[in-house]
Amino acid sequence: MRVFHLKINGDTVDVAAPEHYTLLEILRYELGLTGSKQGCDKGDCGSCTVQVDGVPMLSCLVLPSTVESKAITTIEGLAVQHRSDGGEGASLLQNAFDAAGALQCGFCQPGMIMSAQALLESNATPNRDDIKQALAGNLCRCTGYTQIYTAVESAAKDGGENGCS
């Protein structure tokens, strides 16, 4: 066992867990943050994507001790951030996925949104190619991707100058 000092969705948490646990296992099984999905568990699918200091990474391949000084954001953190910025309910991007019907089973969605959110933060007006590039590490087995790209485009449009949170 080792105590990991983590900063997750704005909260500082000390988690005692087996040393060989991945960040994804800590999130899901120690902290109950089951929004990040365990798909392939080996870097192939992107469903476990979280942001580490704003950068999308695959939590199934991250050792928690290597991200102790960093800000980790999971899908659960987006709405928290949105509400602390004065918004209500889910974030603009989450609502855009909903409105565009950008999901069928939904398994890929948290990872897609975490990748897309990072894109919108660095580029508020992405074109279709930028979006495809940013989501190239997130697989969806259901939708065929078109509505996902549309959702990101519409969030970018609605977010305008203010970015998208």
Partner 1 sequence: MLRMPKFKVLNPATVAEAVDAIQQVEGSRFIAGGTDINPNLKHRLLEPECLVALNGVEEIFGISQTEFGLRIGAMESLTNVETNTLIQQLAPGLASASRQVSGPQLRNMGTIGGNVMLDTRCKWYNQTYFWRKSLGFCLKKDGDVCHVIKGGSKCVAAASNDTAAALSTLQAELEFANAQGSTRIAIDKLWQADGIWNKKVGPHDLLVAIHLPAALLNQKGSYKKLRDRNSIDFPLLGIAARLKISDNIVDDCALCVVALQARPWPLDKASALLIGTTVGSDAFNEALKACCAIAAKQCRPMPNIPGDHAYRHAMVPVFIRRAILSCLD
Ligand X SMILES: Cc1cc2nc3c(=O)[nH]c(=O)nc-3n(C[C@H](O)[C@H](O)[C@H](O)COP(=O)(O)OP(=O)(O)OC[C@H]3O[C@@H](n4cnc5c(N)ncnc54)[C@H](O)[C@@H]3O)c2cc1C
Summarize as ranges the residues that interact with ligand FES (CB under 6 A).
38-41, 43-48, 58, 60, 103-108, 140-143
49 binds partner 1 (CB under 8 A): yes
- How near is the Cβ of 161 to ligand FES at its closest, in Å? 30
When the beta carbons of 24 and 164 are compared against ligand FES, the nearer one is 24
Which listed option, ligand X, partner 1, ligand FES, none, makes contact with residue 142 (CB within 5 to 8 Å by class)?
Answer: ligand FES
Binder of partner 1 out of 12, 14, 20, 88 (CB under 8 A):
20
β-bridge mates for residue 55, sequence order: 52
* Positions of E strands within the chain: 2-8, 11-17, 49-52, 55-58, 71-73
Binder of partner 1 out of 5, 10, 11, 65 (CB under 8 A):
65
d(CA 143, CA 151): 12
- Sequence-distant (≥ 6) Cβ neighbours of residue 51 within 8 angstroms: 57, 71, 72, 73, 114, 117, 118
Pairing of strands 2-8, 71-73: parallel
- How near is the Cβ of 2 to ligand X at its closest, in Å? 19
**Please, are residues 109 and 153 in contact by the beta-carbon 8 Å criterion?**
no
Write out the residues near partner 1 by the rule CB under 8 A. 2, 18-22, 38, 41-44, 46, 49, 55-58, 60-63, 65-66, 115, 133-134, 136-137, 139
